[in-house]
Structure 1
């Protein structure tokens, strides 16, 4: 290939990239996940991130709900502050595995009173030392039915493109998703994944089996690959060989890891968008810069800056 041919090929590639981004601009809906901070320093990072991402006008921002009363109270505090100090639609996670019915009712009334109309309903992790629990609810389906009996919430649930680690089989996991939809869930946010085929197979199975639920892919930009490998073993998420190669030798190079993370996330969204997916949920890990850059590249712009 001579110089002119190489130049022409380069121009064609730039045009292809430009066309890809142009097709996404305005057609991608986004939401973000945060977790409640455990220290004052982490609290400052969280609120810096929320303020950074707010101008992108996500459909909603969710806040996780961990085990233990103190963590749960921090979730409530974050949700209330988002509602009072930002323009964002705050969506709390609510787990039920070790909660009494009275506790669930108390939390639910509190959320409804401050304006919450959307909840991510989850079973929650079982206690580490026992398969038994002391709550009044066994499954997320039970929680969904309880929430629907109290108020007309918009309810999201979890879905697993590569099957929940505790599921007996892929079919039993799918049937559990169907039960949650039948109980009143109208949206399912997936666990993160890196092989799009897993998500698309789940999407197609929902269509084929008449499970009418909006399936939103969970996108995780990976900056710490070693940490991801540990978490993936626990969650049974496949890490493709090409990811191992991309992150190889970068343990001490955070800048390059961020560039690779943004590239992978953008390519995930582009691929799924071509399959008709329009809504994407980003796991921010309470850090805004990378998620902001990815969403900006996908056509989401700072609405406050545009209005000034």
Structure 2
């Protein structure tokens, strides 16, 4: 175990019901004790959670720890995004996770005024200057739609040159992928902080499904061990905790700027990792 003080942040998705919101607020209280840099709130494909995301952002931000909305451009217009950004600026939101977003599966006709995340970054910089810190996505194991790793790096550089302030990676379980990606970024003159995204392992089926969707790789040795424990939930969670703790320990030795945790609206797995690392926020 190691003792460290690093910036940390946590990600939530907006619940659909009042009961879900109440449960999330209980998780929020437990994670807030770590005084994170911020809580980020996801934005559904094609803006499908727009109103719920906005309300959760405003509610959490009012509690004292900054809330950071995700904002995607697929399915939104210049007008609708500007109205939303005006609201965020006027209520003191200082950071935006700026994404392309995915096409919603059940919506055939969506707004198409933006095509890529760098266009959204450019739009926000043109209209709001430096009012927001813009955080973009990075893919150490290459975006699933990219032609190859070099093409993906070029696309990432476009976002940086458009005005991105920092990046959060897709989750991964191979620290070499992150180290190689950061090294290649530095060779391209990219100097913004790149925060590793950390996904706790608690359920093999869900993890496999998420990974297929986003192109994240589950190393074969981890996959096989998870299969060993598929009928032993407690053993699987213990194994997952060890794997992610060791990953985080390795990342700390690489001099990362901080951690971003994908909590899936659950505090316990993330809190156990933080406890193992003896990690406290640097904020």
Q: Give the TM-score of the pair, scaled to structure 2.
A: 0.93
Specify the alignment match of 2:88 in structure 1: 111
CA 1:42 to 1:68, structure 2 compared with 1: closer, same or farther past 3 Å?
Answer: farther
CA distance in structure 1 between the partners assigned to 2:13 and 2:95 by the alignment: 17
Q: Secondary structure at the match of 1:161?
A: coil
Specify the alignment match of 2:23 in structure 1: 45
Q: Secondary structure at the match of 1:248?
A: helix
Determine whether 1:184 maps to 2:184.
Answer: no
Q: Tell me the CA shift for residue 261 of structure 1.
A: 2.1
For each residue in 1:248-286, what CA deviation from the matched residue of structure 2 results, as whole angstroms up to 9, or x when unmatched? 332333322222222112111110111111411110000
CA contact (8 A) 1:118 1:155 kept: yes
Specify the alignment match of 1:150 in structure 2: 127
Matches within 5 A, 1:217-256: 217-256=196-235
Select 1:206's aligned residue among 185, 191, 201.
Answer: 185
Determine whether 1:275 maps to 2:257.
Answer: no
Gaps of at least 5 residues in structure 1 are 1-16, 304-308
Specify the alignment match of 2:271 in structure 1: 292
Q: Tell me the CA shift for residue 292 of structure 1.
A: 1.3
Determine whether 1:63 maps to 2:66.
Answer: no
CA distance in structure 2 between the partners assigned to 1:167 and 1:133 by the alignment: 22
CA 1:128 to 1:70, structure 2 compared with 1: closer, same or farther past 3 Å?
Answer: closer
Matches within 5 A, 1:61-210: 61-67=39-45, 71-84=49-62, 86-128=63-105, 133-151=110-128, 152=130, 153-210=132-189
CA contact (8 A) 1:45 1:287 kept: no
CA contact (8 A) 2:47 2:72 kept: no
Q: Tell me the CA shift for residue 75 of structure 1.
A: 0.4
Structure with bigger helix share is 1
Q: Tell me the CA shift for residue 237 of structure 1.
A: 1.9
Aligned residues: 280
CA distance in structure 1 between the partners assigned to 2:105 and 2:48 by the alignment: 18
CA contact (8 A) 1:186 1:212 kept: no
CA distance in structure 1 between the partners assigned to 2:263 and 2:207 by the alignment: 14
For each residue in 1:103-156, what CA deviation from the matched residue of structure 2 results, as whole angstroms up to 9, or x when unmatched? 010000000111101000001102437998423111111111111122221000
Structure number with larger C-alpha Rg? 1
CA distance in structure 1 between the partners assigned to 2:15 and 2:106 by the alignment: 25
Q: Secondary structure at the match of 2:125?
A: helix
CA distance in structure 2 between the partners assigned to 1:177 and 1:213 by the alignment: 11
Moved more, 187-196 or 120-129: 120-129
CA distance in structure 2 between the partners assigned to 1:87 and 1:296 by the alignment: 23
